[in-house]
Amino acid sequence: MADPRGGSFCSTAAPAGTSSTIGAERASNPLLSLDEDDFVEQLIGSHASFPPYFLRLGEENRRGPSVFDHSPVFEAVVPEAAVRPVASGATIVDIRGVEAYAASHPTGAVSIPLRPGFASWLGWLTAHDRPILLLRDEGRDLDDAVWQALKIGHENIAGEISGGIDARAAAGLPVTSVPLLEAEDAVGLRVLDIRQSSEFGAGHLPGALHIELGSLTAAAPALADEPTVVMCGHGERAAGAVSIPEAAGLRQLAILAGGPGDPADARGVQLESAG
pLDDT reported for residue 48: 66
Q: What percent of the chain has pLDDT over 70?
A: 91
Are residues 84 and 132 both part of a single domain?
yes
Q: From residue 232, give the alpha-carbon distance in Å to each of 32, 57, 64, 97, 155.
A: 35, 27, 35, 15, 29
CA 191, 197, 198, 201 dihedral sign is positive
pLDDT reported for residue 167: 96
Domain that holds residue 225: 180-267
Task: Report the number of distinct structural domains present in the chain.
Answer: 2
Other Cβ atoms within 10 Å of 123 Cβ, number: 24
Residue 49 covered by a domain: no
Q: Tell me: the pLDDT tens digits for 236-259? A: 999 999 999 998 899 999 999 989
Q: Who's near 75: CB < 8 A, 6+ residues apart?
A: 159, 160
Domain boundary residue among 135, 159, 176? 176
Q: Tell me: the pLDDT tens digits for 152-182? A: 989 899 999 999 999 999 999 999 999 999 9
Residue 132 covered by a domain: yes
Residue 41 covered by a domain: no
Comparing 31-35, 42-46, 129-133, 210-214, which segment has the lowest mean pLDDT?
A: 42-46
The CATH number of the domain holding residue 216 is: 3.40.250.10
